């Protein structure tokens, strides 16, 4: 399949879960995949598997929650490929404990990765896409079903708001911003029916949603469970 042949796709959080599944799916569709994760072990295993299967992928180990590291990541990809056509934000971390037991470090890290890191990637890659005159950005947001994840939920729900406002701001530059949520039906503005998050991500970057912006697709958590966190 070559639905995304000649496209350069940056996937954050590509070392496991839905990030890994997204990276592998785009590679199967002919894209060149820039796979980012903070853990070299996981992401290098993903890219090795993609390349062994005949795809094209390269690992980039950077902490996207830090502005300098995020910019280094984007510069390296731009130097390697000359452009970034699609960004899929999957990077996320969960707190180590429930609301009443969380320490400040844990709270800050959750928001730095899940909210600020996503914002930094939308901002920095958005600038690249503005310069090249096109691009698609997909934010993947999963709401955990566990009751001890209040901080995680707050940090991820913020991304739904970011998507809608960023979509409006970047539309003039032909940059389209969408979100795929898991377990957040109240934000859905497209309609249910997708079997998993990966299928929804691919659709949002394809011809079906060409010209549309700010779409939010919600996946039933039970349907999307096979693609991890």
Just list the catalytic residues.
152
CB atoms near residue 108 (< 10 Å): 13
Q: 208 vs 150, 204, 213, 222, CA distance in Å?
A: 35, 7, 12, 25
> What DSSP line would sit under 158-214, residue for residue?
HHHHHHHHHHHHHGGGTEEEEEEEES-GGG-SS-S--SSHHHHHHHHTSGGGTT--S
- The HSE-up count of residue 35 (CA atoms within 13 Å, CB side) is 34
What whole-number distance in Å separates Cα of residue 13 and Cα of residue 63? 10
- The HSE-up count of residue 145 (CA atoms within 13 Å, CB side) is 9
> How far apart are the two ends of the chain, measured CA to CA in Å?
26
List all residues 6 or more positions away from 159 whose beta carbon is below 8 Å from its beta carbon: 89, 114, 115, 118, 139, 141, 179
Q: 93 vs 3, 28, 41, 155, 185, CA distance in Å?
A: 31, 27, 17, 10, 22
């Amino acid at each position: 399949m070559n639905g995304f042949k000649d496209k350069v796709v940056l996937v954050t959080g590509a070392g496991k879960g839905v990030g890994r599944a997204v990276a592998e799916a785009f590679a199967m569709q002919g894209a060149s995949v820039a796979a980012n994760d903070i853990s070299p072990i996981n992401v290098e295993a993903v890219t090795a598997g993609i390349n062994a299967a005949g795809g094209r992928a390269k690992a980039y180990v950077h902490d996207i929650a830090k502005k300098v590291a995020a910019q280094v990541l984007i510069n390296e990809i731009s130097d390697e490929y000359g452009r970034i056509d699609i960004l899929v934000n999957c990077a996320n971390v969960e707190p180590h404990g429930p609301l009443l037991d969380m320490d400040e470090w844990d709270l800050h890290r959750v928001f730095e990765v899940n909210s600020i890191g996503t914002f930094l990637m939308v901002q920095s890659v958005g600038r690249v896409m503005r310069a090249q005159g096109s691009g698609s950005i997909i934010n993947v947001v999963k709401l955990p079903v566990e009751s001890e994840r209040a901080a995680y939920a707050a940090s991820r729900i913020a991304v739904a708001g970011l998507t809608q406002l960023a979509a409006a701001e970047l539309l003039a530059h032909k940059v389209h911003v969408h979100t795929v949520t898991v377990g957040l039906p109240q934000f859905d503005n497209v309609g249910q029916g997708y079997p998993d998050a990966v299928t929804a991500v691919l659709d949002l970057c394809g011809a079906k949603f060409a010209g549309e912006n700010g779409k939010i697709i919600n996946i039933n958590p039970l349907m999307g469970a096979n693609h991890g966190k």
